[in-house]
Amino acid sequence: METARILRVVPLFAGATDAQLKAVSKVARLRRLKPGETVIREGEPGTSVYILKSGSVSVAMSRRDDEAQVLAKLVPCDLFGEMAILDHKPRSATVTASEETEVLEIPEPDLRRVLDADPDLALRVHRALAVIFCARLRAANEKLLAWSSLPPEHGA
């Protein structure tokens, strides 16, 4: 039940019962990644959500000049890949292992079946996602405000 123990500390499953965590654990798959290995590629279809078990990953997006801009470094218990499974749009960023890394991969169809079978868990997960997205939106707004407050460059 190591997977259930990990899920217990992930905010997405906060307050879930042992039985609920066990149900999610049954559909989670452990993936081991080498440094530089890509987990998610920007533009590809999103079919799974991931939880970082150990190691670290970088989240990057392509800029207009085709250079990658690192947006975040994630650490154990962080969640990623959830946007595409909710809106069914292509992945918005590339996620790459920074070191030897383990992730739990939860395929969207399997997670959907677990949530459809347990309305209480579905409500918990959707509320947790709302909190996660609100926090990310607030952080993005703060960065945008800080960026827009910078004095204009001379000669631009």
If pLDDT is split at 50, 70 and 90, which confidence band does 152 have? Answer: low
* Nearest to 51, CA basis, from 34, 30, 36, 71: 30
Model confidence at 85: pLDDT above 80: no
Looking at mean pLDDT, say which of 38-42, 60-64, 134-138 comes out highest: 38-42
Q: Quick one: pLDDT at residue 140?
A: 83
Residue 38 structure tokens: 């890509």
Put the strands of the sheet holding 29-33 in their side by side order: 29-33, 101-107, 48-54, 79-80
Q: Does the pTM exceed 0.75?
A: yes
Model confidence at 149: pLDDT above 80: no
Q: Which residues of 16-40 are buried (b: 16+ CB within 10 A; e: fewer)?
A: beeebbebbbebbeebebeeeeebb
Q: Quick one: pLDDT at residue 15?
A: 92
